[in-house]
């Protein structure tokens, strides 16, 4: 199984931010994540 680039804590934080109503674009900018969809 491939290792994730992000820690579990970081993923949980991002998901909680989304759940709180922060838009995906803002979350991507805040956490330095590309908005591009990974289709691998």
Rg (CA), the chain: 11
- State residue 39's pLDDT score: 52
State whether residue 39 is helix, strand or coil.
coil
Two tokens, residue 2: 């491939």
pLDDT in tens, 1-40: 677 788 999 999 999 999 999 998 899 899 888 877 655 5
Give this prediction's pTM: 0.68
- State residue 40's pLDDT score: 52
């Amino acid at each position: 199984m491939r290792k994730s680039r992000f820690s579990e804590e970081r993923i949980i934080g991002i998901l909680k931010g989304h759940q709180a109503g922060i838009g995906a674009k803002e979350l991507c900018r805040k956490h330095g994540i590309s908005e591009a969809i990974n289709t691998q």
